[in-house]
Amino acid sequence: MDKLIAKTACAGLLPLTVGSVSVSEEDVGAITSVSPLKGQKKALSDALKAAHGMAYPAANRATGKSGARAVWLGHSHAMLIGPEPDASLEKHAAVVDQSDAWAVVRLEGDRAEQVLARLVPVDLRSGHFKRGHTVRSLLFHMTASITRVGENAFQIMVFRSMAETLVHDLKRAMEGVATRG
Amino acid sequence: MRITCPHCGERDRREFYYRGAAVDLERPAPDAGEEAWDNFVYLRDNPAGVTRDLWYHEGGCGAWIVVTRDTVTHEVLKTELASEAKS
């Protein structure tokens, strides 16, 4: 077989800056789906702490820090982002590698909140959506995971097949916000 | 219309998919007989008042939610996770 060239989800699409907001692709490392087995959430959290230094996240929260994060992704479901999963997790959870299945971008800028306000039907202003908070919601017509990772920075995850749509929708909203002056 | 997801909080209706009456939680036993199964598959109440529905939080956390609401006032009275709801 010829040598295959690995491409990232947003190759050729990003980075992009419009006005004071920019969006860039994040190389986050491994992305692993972690679903606690029945009654094993506490044990899984302890195993996560021991192996990767962060607890299993409560609903609408992310734990850990840049490079090794656990992001709540839904009902009995979180994503371990960064490290290769330790084998000890498999005793307490269904662990599935999804590294190539997601497009991960970082939206940053002092008007990033206004860009998301045009796309997401949830209030993401810093008053009550703080660093370490996360939501599962819609970004325009796409399901997305949105996490605040900095004062003016968000990590957005969508299915890899939606990468181009994500960039298109973000770009339109960024242009709209920039036009307002 | 707003629905309060037990995980995510109050969310817009567009995030949810409507399944129908919450009869799936009262599935009859395999040997319950023809009448019970006929009721389960085909017969639905059509109340003017309080009803229980199953909704799926499709654009959100992926939980199935039992929503108790009033078809007359459109008021949502209660929401709970289907995995924890007793029929």
Q: What is the maximal distance between C-alpha atoms in chain B?
A: 41
Q: Which residue in chain B has the smallest CA separation from A142?
A: B59
- Residue A72: which CATH number? 3.30.70.1520
Domain coverage including residue A90: 30-99
| Any domain includes B35 | no
Domain count, chain B: 1
Structure tokens at A43: 């044990």
| Any domain includes A163 | yes
Element (H, E) at A63: strand A62-65
Are residue A106 and residue A167 in the same domain, yes or no? yes
B2 contact A CB<8A: no
Are residue A21 and residue A109 in the same domain, yes or no? yes
- Residue B11: which CATH number? 3.30.2270.10
pLDDT of residue A5: 87
SS3 B34: helix
Q: Which residue in chain A has the smallest CA separation from B56?
A: A75
B1 contact A CB<8A: no
| Any domain includes B72 | yes
H-type alpha helices, chain A: 41-52, 112-117, 163-179
* Average of per-residue pLDDT across B7-11: 95
Calculate the average pLDDT of chain B: 93
Are residue A95 and residue A153 in the same domain, yes or no? no
Q: Which residues contact A15 (CB under 8 A, 6 or more apart)?
A: A22, A23, A24, A25
Residue to substitute from A75, A128, A145, interface B, most B β-carbons within 10 A: A75
Q: What is the DSSP letter of A53?
A: S
Q: Which of A48, A70, A99 is the last residue of a domain?
A: A99
pLDDT of residue B85: 82
Q: Which residue in chain B has the smallest CA separation from A133?
A: B8
| Any domain includes B42 | no
pLDDT of residue A23: 97
Of B7, B12, B59, the CB nearest to A143: B59
Say how far apart CA A112 and CA A146 lie, in whole Å. Answer: 12
Q: Which of A71, A99, A127 is the last residue of a domain?
A: A99
pLDDT of residue B86: 64
pLDDT tens digits for range B50-78: 999 999 999 999 999 999 999 999 999 99
Question: Whose CA is closest to A91, among A134, A39, A27?
Answer: A39
Domain count, chain A: 2
Name chain B contacts of A143, Cβ cutoff 8 Å. 58-60
pLDDT of residue B1: 85
- List chain A pLDDT tens, one digit each, 181 residues: 788 888 999 999 999 999 999 999 999 999 999 999 999 999 999 999 999 999 999 999 999 998 999 999 999 999 999 999 999 999 999 999 999 999 999 999 999 999 999 999 999 999 989 999 999 999 999 999 999 999 999 999 999 999 999 999 999 999 999 998 7
Task: Report residue A176: phi and psi, to 5°.
Answer: -60, -45
| Any domain includes B68 | yes
Say how far apart CA A16 and CA A164 lie, in whole Å. Answer: 13
Residue of B87 and A131 predicted with greater confidence: A131
Domain coverage including residue B80: 1-29+50-87
| ipTM for the complex shown | 0.85
